[in-house]
Structure 1
Amino acid sequence: MKTYFASYVWVGGRLERDVRLDVHRGVIVGVTPSGDPSAPAPGKSARESIMKLPGLVLPGFANAHSHAFHRALRGRTHAGGGSFWTWRDLMYSVAGGLDPDSYYALARAVYAEMALAGITAVGEFHYLHHGPDGVPYADPNAMGHALVQAAADAGIRITLLDTLYLTSSVDGKPLEGVQRRYGDGDLDGWSARTDQLRAQPHAKIGAALHSVRAVPASDMALFADRTAGLPVHVHLSEQRAENEQTLATYGCTPAELLERHGVWRADTVAVHATHLTDRDVDILGGHQVCFCPTTERDLADGIGPARRLADAGATLSLGSDSHAVIDQFEELRGLEMNDRLATERRGRFTPAELIAAAANHQSIGWSDAGEIAVGKRADFVCVRLDSVRTAGADPAQAILAATAADITHVVADGRLIVSDGRHTSIDVPQALTDAIRSLTDNAPPSPTPADTTLGEGRRA
């Protein structure tokens, strides 16, 4: 048994003062507001240890949408303006140079950076499956296994959303170049490979339908059938061009196409959902939607109808996607501020709604996490209330002032993984520097043309 004590804790959707938290084997067994940390827990005469958690304590965050290898592009894609296509060329260069060992090194560093940002579980949208020429490794899941091990070594949980990716366009063009790494030939090939993946205590296996341009409509219903009961994610309507091409090919929007084939279920998550019709909003109401505000602004995608979706019944989550930033405070603030800009109205989401989105572990299959409550996993994030950003803020609203730099301690499954702002086992800046340098030293220079060509879809 371990006891934690904190002056401010987010419990039951509100702020509580002077809370004692009792943890046993990584699970919360007691939550006592106005509690005495020195008093024994029920049935116990002594404590093994007591730890004071500083500042504001929040539930661990869930990063519902990640492409770990995109982190190598941060700060390297902005020269001379450019477009998605110049960004994609650099992304392909990174993707083409990865192998299981270098992918592990990069992902370990990225997941450790997530830990520093208070993220205790990640949904990894994984499509970099095979060798550079598209030929499977001796272990056909070597790249996925590298990600699972990387998360374990960084101290966070992972849901490996193994992705079906078969074509390069809505009209079914074949995969070419580095995209061959993404494909398994057909749905049966994907199923045969993913059937070999196994869940672990820190890892769940989910699935993803990459997008309507990467999976033919003829495969969607069978994919939905084969993935029943799994967390399933899909990139949806990130660009207007995707909608236009789907309408031209199928006579409907992407959301309508996926509805026709039974893809939308309670455990299906639409990622981005930026350009939606009123009918699309109705379809997604009652389902889950993941917004990635920092990536959506970095790639100039647009602003999705977050408040409208929430009002229609959708449950929201947040992801850092391309990792232009890894900061759940920035993501949740983006959710709120983007909707303010789009509607010219303030107060679109309450702090409780924003925290729920940032801590939505259910979106990646961890229903026993995301709340500070008895029976939930002991995931705690400590946020300074005395930094230059948070000083003077109401603790109940501090999430709208804080950044990841204000996180001092992180506990995941009852284990301290961040202490005094540092990862307890990984030198994160050095690990990131080493992993990214090994990938980019031989990469082509950043493109400079201010290309504004409208392409068919951002998700490569």
Structure 2
Amino acid sequence: MSDIAPFAAPTSHAPAMGSLFATDALLPDGWARNVLLEWNAAGQLLAVTPDSSAPRTTPRAAGPLIPGMPNLHCHAFQRAFGGLTEFRAEAQDSFWSWRTLMYRFAAQVTPELLEDIATWLYIEMLEAGYTSVCEFHYVHHDLDGRPYADDATLAQCLLRAAQRAGIGITLLPVLYQTSGFGGTPPNAGQRRFIRSTDSMLRLLERLQPCCEVQGARLGLAPHSLRAVPPDSLREVLAGLDAIDPTAPIHIHIAEQTAEVDACLAWSGQRPVEWLLDHAAVDARWCLVHATHMTDTEYQRAARTGAVAGLCPTTEANLGDGIFDLPRWRAAGGAWGVGSDSNACVNAAEELMLLEYGQRLQGRQRNVLATAQQPQVATAMTLQAVQGGARASGRALPRGTAGLVTGQRADFAVLDARHPALCELSAPDMLSAHVFASHRTSALDAVWVGGVQQTRQGSRHPLRETAAAAFIAARSRLLAQTQA
């Protein structure tokens, strides 16, 4: 597979110095009126000016502007078996029985199939309001588990897919070495994931210039404490710091109670407790799921500045449990949302289910509103954008994300003409988008880096050809897994 070429969007959407005027826009401090956005040819916001007069030649948004949502956790290939694991395979199905089915698909994905699946998925994300994605990439090798001639082959497929779709990407190659705590050898279903620590560091060095050319971000994902032994975790983090001391670090942790029990049996500590005692966890880290923590773990993890990576639709699909977000926020914790297994690809749907889970758990309503933002959808959007941008390594050095000078011009436009939104105030339109529409139906357009990627009801220009390629890829995978 060839290296990534410098990014070139379709000619009709080529990035150039631009501007957009919105009657209402959601800025980091809340809703503002008559906002003029201006950006440079690199897609960076030069000015965000409330209380402006619209220049005569400046286009007007068809509805309120909201910041683009970062998707902080994604396994692209898993989109191909969405809906195909919803049957009882064991007397009591769980994450672990689902994982066995997932391995069968992972064993058959070729570079061409992965690129077609990811291209369609990333287009779906754009149409659903995501403007960047953190790709937790762990299928590295050929079908027999041997490295490709170019060890970066599958990673390159993902970068090309993001480039073609026009979505921002943080690529997170996954270090995976063992199948369980205490160095249990990997099983046959994991053969395509396995890397030595040195191999991982060479891959990062190989990918770094590719990501720089594309404007992508490169980080690292130690898969989990059960898959990365302590010595390897220490060595790979030191190696990452030598390559890029600012690179984001993501890890699956405390997703399942069985994982917590196994960690206790191995070390005498719970997963989050062990990680905090043995690694310098800080604001570069994203603790994906972190569903099962004690009060002390909530407090200690939040103080590090790490982002909790919450994936409500996948966590519900897999029966993981419910993260206690009020407790995390009370400790000062940052958070964002991800689509994970991509059983659902919808930014607003993740927010809705996250709030509903907290309502069911606490038997209250409007749980995630704040004193500053009593509208739940507004409060959640601002917090998820902030945490997601930090986790993706795409926030400004001072930590501000969203529609702010110096940040990327990533945003979505709500459709003020949509029946669920029409005649409402801007905050109520966002609430209706999250809680009362079909979620994607109320989006008018999505912009990434100053380039309009969707239009006419948030439809991507490549949707038909990408959808056809995805369907063909899935058909091939089904035929191979059922053979």
- TM-score relative to the length of structure 1: 0.90
Q: State the AA in 1 paired with 2:349.
A: E
Bigger mean CA deviation after superposition, 401-410 or 204-213: 401-410
Kept in 1: contact 2:283–2:390 (CA 8 A): no
Q: State the AA in 1 paired with 2:459.
A: R
Q: Distance in 1 between matches of 2:341 and 2:420?
A: 26
Q: 1:356 aligns with which of 377, 382, 393?
A: 382
Indicate whether 1:240 and 2:257 are aligned.
yes
Q: How does 1:56-67 map to 2 (within 5 A)?
A: 56-67=64-75
Q: 2:301 aligns with which of 284, 297, 300?
A: 284
Provide, for residues 373-411 of structure 1, a one-character-per-residue CA deviation record: whole Å limited to 9, x for no partner: 222211120122343443465421433331122212111
Could you say which residue in structure 1 is the equivalent of 2:322? 303
Kept in 2: contact 1:410–1:417 (CA 8 A): yes
Kept in 2: contact 1:56–1:385 (CA 8 A): yes
Could you say which residue in structure 1 is the equivalent of 2:216? 203
Could you say which residue in structure 2 is the equivalent of 1:450? none
Kept in 1: contact 2:36–2:48 (CA 8 A): yes
1:233–1:137 distance in 2 versus 1, CA, 3 Å: same
Kept in 2: contact 1:417–1:425 (CA 8 A): no
Q: How does 1:40-79 map to 2 (within 5 A)?
A: 50-79=58-87
Could you say which residue in structure 2 is the equivalent of 1:449? none
Indicate whether 1:429 and 2:467 are aligned.
yes
Kept in 1: contact 2:378–2:430 (CA 8 A): no
Could you say which residue in structure 2 is the equivalent of 1:8? 24
Indicate whether 1:271 and 2:288 are aligned.
yes
Q: 1:226 aligns with which of 215, 220, 239?
A: 239
Q: Distance in 1 between matches of 2:423 and 2:317?
A: 31
Could you list the structure 1 runs, at least 4 aligned residues long, displaced by more than 6 angstroms after superposition. none
1:106–1:376 distance in 2 versus 1, CA, 3 Å: same
Bigger mean CA deviation after superposition, 359-368 or 202-211: 359-368
1:2–1:218 distance in 2 versus 1, CA, 3 Å: closer
Q: State the AA in 2 paired with 1:148.
A: L
Q: Distance in 1 between matches of 2:419 and 2:479?
A: 37
The 3-state SS of whatever aligns with 2:287 is strand
Q: In structure 2, list runs of 5 or more residues that go unmatched.
A: 1-16, 370-376, 434-438
Q: 1:177 aligns with which of 168, 188, 193?
A: 188
Could you say which residue in structure 2 is the equivalent of 1:318? 337
Deviation at 1:311, TM superposition (A): 1.4
Kept in 2: contact 1:121–1:158 (CA 8 A): yes
Q: Distance in 2 between matches of 1:331 and 1:209?
A: 24
Identity %: 33
Q: 1:373 aligns with which of 374, 380, 404?
A: 404
Provide, for residues 279-324 of structure 1, a one-character-per-residue CA deviation record: whole Å limited to 9, x for no partner: 2112211321110001000111110111211211211111000011
Question: RMSD of the TM alignment (CA)?
Answer: 1.9
Q: Distance in 1 between matches of 2:204 and 2:408?
A: 27
Deviation at 1:190, TM superposition (A): 2.1
Provide, for residues 9-66 of structure 1, a one-character-per-residue CA deviation record: whole Å limited to 9, x for no partner: 1123311222222222112222222322226xxxxxxx5xx32211221111100000
Could you say which residue in structure 2 is the equivalent of 1:457? none
Provide, for residues 217-242 of structure 1, a one-character-per-residue CA deviation record: whole Å limited to 9, x for no partner: 23222233223321000001000111
Q: Distance in 1 between matches of 2:421 and 2:102?
A: 36
Q: State the AA in 2 paired with 1:343.
A: G
Q: Distance in 1 between matches of 2:338 and 2:459?
A: 22
Q: In structure 1, list runs of 5 or more residues that go unmatched.
A: 40-46, 446-460
Kept in 2: contact 1:9–1:19 (CA 8 A): yes
Could you say which residue in structure 2 is the equivalent of 1:396? 427
Could you say which residue in structure 1 is the equivalent of 2:36? 20
1:306–1:162 distance in 2 versus 1, CA, 3 Å: same
Bigger mean CA deviation after superposition, 132-141 or 224-233: 224-233
Could you say which residue in structure 1 is the equivalent of 2:357? 338
Q: State the AA in 1 paired with 2:278.
A: H
Deviation at 1:179, TM superposition (A): 0.5
Kept in 1: contact 2:113–2:473 (CA 8 A): yes
Kept in 2: contact 1:378–1:411 (CA 8 A): yes
The 3-state SS of whatever aligns with 1:54 is coil
The 3-state SS of whatever aligns with 2:133 is strand
Q: Distance in 1 between matches of 2:321 and 2:100?
A: 21
- TM-score relative to the length of structure 2: 0.86
Q: State the AA in 2 paired with 1:326.
A: V
User: Where is the strand percentage greater, Structure 1 or Structure 2?
Assistant: 1
Kept in 1: contact 2:307–2:390 (CA 8 A): no
The 3-state SS of whatever aligns with 2:22 is strand
The 3-state SS of whatever aligns with 1:442 is helix
